Structure 1
């Protein structure tokens, strides 16, 4: 009887989440900023790339992020002003690997005579094929001028490269190289800022490696299948609520099986993220008798995080501390 009640509760939770995601899927407009003459104008597709581009570009660059604060990147589409700004910029930096399903049409909107250099910053990373699409268009085919040609929806490439500091190091180098390509006169300053950023990323990488390797437990349960690169690079295994089935939305039987696994493996925390609904994570945690913690995929800042001065590094440090708490 208890099992049947649990299943009914999980089925209801799946239905409610589907309605919530449908209602919240409408994209919001971005506050895109303006093009500045005399600087390298850079358009970035979402937050982590924006932060790295700002750090490397410094005073020589005017970096405009397309996504506004508090918006989850999978639920967003560009507006006409974004295309206009990009057509006047020198660099358009996007993650690729299927994250931004709107990019092919965006690039077509720039016109054939565009001067902007488009860069897929995940190029060179050993990409992971996910178990299934997560319902956010992650299976979209990469742009033909990228280094990941032919990766169509059936492959379900995991686009969340930046969540691992090891991958972020590759992304930062791609950004630096393209700054130098469009503005070779300032190569030395771009290189110096890049070395500073790389030093921070390498220190973060070393900290994750040292502290996670010492923990006795290695399995985490997350709300969104966004931590594949983090897990691969630091010896962890993720079990995701979202993305467990090809239908994108989790099925009740998947959640029941996951709840059973949580109990059997002695997992003490279910991780959720702040830019998407936490309802299923909390439902699963309640049913399994465990607690919840934040594990941030760093896809963007909430308004409170922006006001508090958070950035990629502070959020990743918080992730590390929460992983240590959960895996001790």
Structure 2
């Protein structure tokens, strides 16, 4: 245990390196309504709803993890010229307040927090509940957070990972487009209806298939699956915190290894945009295997080339969860 633990702690620094991207994806169009999005899921939903009526620029470059990314000067220039700036909120993009202050004074861009209306999870309350009570699959269904959703530290920002929350986000995006560009309302409404149906179908699959699994505990590399766990009756245990550079302690690792063995957990989940070294070392220590569980924070270059999207990645997540939990 001592040697393995030392190896884990030596890996923490290398596992939590910074990701930085060079530039955003897209340029301002003179012929269409311009929308700037902060990261991939919002970009995909906006493209689906906007169709040919909008030009969508995604700030986060391909293959970059969003938690430690910051915008560049060109991003400020593009956003100043756009009609809408759509960001997740709930503390994901800590750079937003200063970013908005840096926009051109004559800019007419409207900033919209697309997680508005979702019952946000306070990770500290969640942790205390798990420590002090027996597990209840629905213990957090009614948790709400009434503050403004900006950079609260303990608030879980990973709303989009649950199809139920993604439905709220999609509706917020549609409403924002209709309000900002009413000329194309009919198209926005029609395409939103198609996206809504896709998300509802995905929600139904998660609900039906995860209700049948015998195991309910998942161990993940970083604490990105709180909404998915809450909405589909699972409990997540993470190696790192809400941000993938939140370092675990030696005690955290020992506790997790013990949990894995006691609960009969067979897989440690890792994700593509964050180093898998900690997950693999913990899996080795506990004598189990690793498997991908994707928080869909962005696409890798390979996924982009393969035509993957939010739905294909979430379908893969569901299949991997079933494999690990049945």
Separation of aligned partners in 1, 2:91 and 2:2? 33
- Counterpart-to-counterpart distance in 2, 1:20 and 1:228: 22
**Counterpart check, 1:191 vs 2:189:** yes
Distance 1:312 1:154 in 2: 26
Residue 30 of structure 2 corresponds to residue 37 of structure 1: yes
Q: State the shift of 1:108 in Å.
A: 0.5
Structural mapping, 1:1-328, within 5 Å: 6-21=1-16, 24-25=17-18, 27-131=20-124, 149-151=147-149, 156-243=154-241, 248-328=246-326
Q: 1:26 to 1:221 in 2, by over 3 A?
A: closer
Matches of 2:19 and 2:39, distance apart in 1:
17
Question: SS state of the match for residue 63, structure 1?
Answer: strand
36-45 vs 80-89, which moves further: 36-45
TM-score where L is the length of structure 2: 0.90
Distance across 2 between alignment mates of 1:164 and 1:104: 26
Aligned residues: 306
What does the per-residue CA deviation read over 1:164-194, in whole Å, with 9 as the maximum and x for residues that have no partner? 0000000000000010011111111100000
Structure 1: runs of 5 or more not aligned: 1-5, 133-146
TM-score, normalised with respect to structure 1: 0.89
Distance 1:244 1:98 in 2: 10
Give the SS at the match of 2:186: helix
1:244, distance to aligned residue in structure 2 (A): 8.8
- For residues 108 and 284 of structure 1, the distance between their equivalents in structure 2, rounded to whole angstroms, comes to 43
- Structure 2 CA distance for partners of 1:205 and 1:20, relative to 1, 3 Å: closer
| Structure 1 pair 149–264 and aligned structure 2 pair: CA distance change class (3 A) | closer
Residues 251-307 of structure 1: per-residue CA shift (max 9 Å, x gap) = 111111110111011000000001001111000100100000000000000111000
CA shift, 1:248, in A, is 2.9
CA distance in 2 between partners of 1:152 and 1:206 (Å): 31
In structure 2, the residue corresponding to 1:205 is in which secondary structure?
helix
**What SS does the corresponding residue of 1:131 show, helix, strand or coil?**
helix
1:225-255, Cα deviation, whole Å (9 max, x unpaired): 000000000000001010299x931011111
Ranges in structure 2 where 5+ consecutive residues have no aligned partner: 126-144
Computed over aligned residues only, the root mean square deviation of the Cα atoms, in angstroms, reads 1.9
What is the DSSP-based 3-state SS (H/G/I as helix, E as strand, rest coil) of the residue aligned with 1:314?
A: helix
Could you tell me whether the CA contact under 8 Å between 1:73 and 1:299 is conserved in 2?
yes
Q: C-alpha distance in 2, partners of 1:178/1:189?
A: 13
